[in-house]
Chain A
Amino acid sequence: MAITVGIVGIGHTRFGNSSEYDLADVMAYAATDALEDAGFLERRREIDQVIVGNMASGMFCHQSAVASSLVSRMDMEPVPAELVENGPASGASAIKIGYMAVASGMADVVLVVGGEIMRKVSGWNATDIVATMLHTEAEYNMGLTLPAFGGMFTRLYMEKYGLTERDLALVAVKNHKNGAKNKYAHIQAPCTIEAISDGPEAAVVNNYIAEPLRMYSTCPVSDGAAAVLLVNMDSPKVKDFRKKPVRIAGVASATDTHCVHNRKDPLRLDAVRLAAEKAYKMAGVGPKDISFAELHDAFTILELAISEEVGFFERGTSFLAVRKGETEIDGRLPINTSGGLKSKGHPVGATGVSQAVELVRQLRGEAEEGRQVKNPRYGMSVNFGGFGNNVVALICAKD
């Protein structure tokens, strides 16, 4: 019989500007939060494995071997520790590998920490570092960046389905409304549709980044870390923790072509669809069972496109659901209850773990007033690596 894996502790720094701090310290802060939450801080050396998700500490911070650094910073030696890198999906990949370690029987307790410090370098440099995940010869060398691909994808979607820039602004308004209530969010400020779309100054406030994407269609550059403590729910050790675990019902990933231009249909995100299908199958549920979702809105268009790929809406209709308020906190299917990457922020290596923390907070009923989903049963997250070429889907359940 397969081992059941759960999340028994969560930790999170406030995302934003932590550039004056050391990456290992920032990750250790979130990890300590998670251990305290689980009531396991004093017994941390009994953890079987530490797995760190980080994308580019070598380039952002001129720092390598961060997993070793984290363990030492927390006085946890000789616990084994390794790093997992999968671009902006490093965090969810770290959770997936942690899940595999527990499910295989090799470990009973695994600490997963995702973290990134991006703001030690200039915005131009950060854009360049993030772009190194593209195909070197055929994309990066051309001057292309992730926002450039976001813009080109958005134009195709607009021309095919009739999406407008106002629709993208509505996603931002919704996510900022949620993020304003999230104590961990980078931008804890709501925005209005008048300010960023309808008003006379909107084009100035919400300037173009990569047409037709504007500033409020794009996530900020953030620092931060998040951590989850995984446990074998079938082990007697499960009684040693302060809180009841939230079960990981499904976790899966898939890949797609590295070069975006080589996808048969450039509007399809096959890796998202395949990862979600595998996670649904593993969990024994479907899109209709999901109570709320955290979707990788590095660009607001991605929240829409991912929500269609995972089966929440028919193709080309997700923005109509946003117009009707279906993805609001009190809507039929709340999406990005944390504020999403748009408002909560996107420290690339931390994001996948941060999404899992939000799933647990919602399923425990611990989200702040005004953004707690009513009686959620299943929460789903999608962490998007590259421009959709390496994607992880996670489903957590409250039993």
Chain B
Amino acid sequence: MIDFSMYGAKAPTIKAYKCLTCGTVYYPAPMVCGKCSARRDPVTGKGWETFDLEGSCVLLTWTRVWNLPEGYTEKYLLFGIVQFENGLRASGQLEVEEPKTGMKLNATVKESDERPGNPVNVFVFKE
């Protein structure tokens, strides 16, 4: 693991959200809690807490895409949907030699500049 703090840079992360009124967790962030209708103010974040969505997860389904959109230089990319231990699900890229539905994976995050605009944080699910 690279210690990013020594370079003054932060490791990229992707945040999940928890409604402090009822405890329901979300990814990506809603503007209103689906369970208790508590509002989320994206500026102050009051009444909500965030946490890094990472670590152990299970692969639910996957594909290998050969017709990538503009901006990508790879021949193909693997994508998958995973479920985390807390029940949250996420979609992202897959770096696995032989993907199989149901396999255990580890969710990591990288910074990507392949899409138009500013660089974005992207899930990469690995063995």
Give chain A's interface residues, CB within 8 Å of chain B.
122-125, 127-128, 131, 135, 137-145, 147-148, 151-156, 159, 207-213, 259-262, 266
25 residue pairs from A and B, CB less than 8 Å apart = A125-B69, A125-B70, A131-B69, A138-B90, A142-B92, A143-B115, A143-B122, A145-B67, A145-B68, A147-B67, A148-B65, A151-B63, A151-B64, A155-B63, A156-B60, A156-B61, A209-B66, A209-B67, A210-B66, A212-B63, A213-B63, A260-B81, A261-B89, A261-B91, A266-B61
Tell me whether B64 and A138 are in contact (CB under 8 A): no
Separation of A135 and B28 alpha carbons in the complex (Å): 9
- Chain A contacts of B115 at CB under 8 A? 140-141, 143
- Chain B contacts of A141 at CB under 8 A? 112, 115, 120-122
- Chain B contacts of A154 at CB under 8 A? 63
- Chain A contacts of B50 at CB under 8 A? none
- Chain B contacts of A213 at CB under 8 A? 63
Tell me whether B65 and A210 are in contact (CB under 8 A): yes
- CB closest chain-B residue, reference A130: B69
- Chain A contacts of B48 at CB under 8 A? none
Shortest CB distance A211–B (Å): 4
Separation of A144 and B78 alpha carbons in the complex (Å): 10
Tell me whether B61 and A155 are in contact (CB under 8 A): yes
Tell me whether A155 and B62 are in contact (CB under 8 A): yes
Separation of A147 and B116 alpha carbons in the complex (Å): 19
- Chain A contacts of B112 at CB under 8 A? 141, 143
Give chain B's interface residues, CB within 8 Å of chain A.
27-28, 60-72, 77, 79-81, 89-93, 101, 112, 114-116, 120-123
Separation of A159 and B115 alpha carbons in the complex (Å): 32
Tell me whether A152 and B68 are in contact (CB under 8 A): no
Shortest CB distance A168–B (Å): 14
Q: Is the interface of A mostly helix, strand, loop or mixed?
A: helix
Separation of A333 and B123 alpha carbons in the complex (Å): 43
Tell me whether A128 and B69 are in contact (CB under 8 A): yes
- Chain A contacts of B69 at CB under 8 A? 124-125, 127-128, 131, 143, 145
- Chain A contacts of B68 at CB under 8 A? 124, 127, 143, 145
A142 with B28: in contact, given A152-B61, A210-B67 (CB under 8 Å)?
no
Tell me whether B63 and A143 are in contact (CB under 8 A): no
- Chain B contacts of A209 at CB under 8 A? 65-67
Q: Which of A122, A147, A156 is close to B70, meaning CB atoms less than 8 Å apart? A: A122
Closest 10 CB pairs of A and B: A151-B63, A128-B69, A261-B89, A141-B120, A124-B70, A138-B28, A127-B69, A152-B61, A211-B64, A210-B65
- CB closest chain-A residue, reference B115: A141
- Chain A contacts of B116 at CB under 8 A? 128
With a 10 A CB-CB cut-off, give which of B63, B64, B92, B115 has the most chain A CB atoms.
B63
- Chain A contacts of B92 at CB under 8 A? 142
Q: Which of B67, B70, B80, B120 is close to A152, meaning CB atoms less than 8 Å apart? A: B80
Shortest CB distance A21–B (Å): 23
Separation of A145 and B101 alpha carbons in the complex (Å): 20
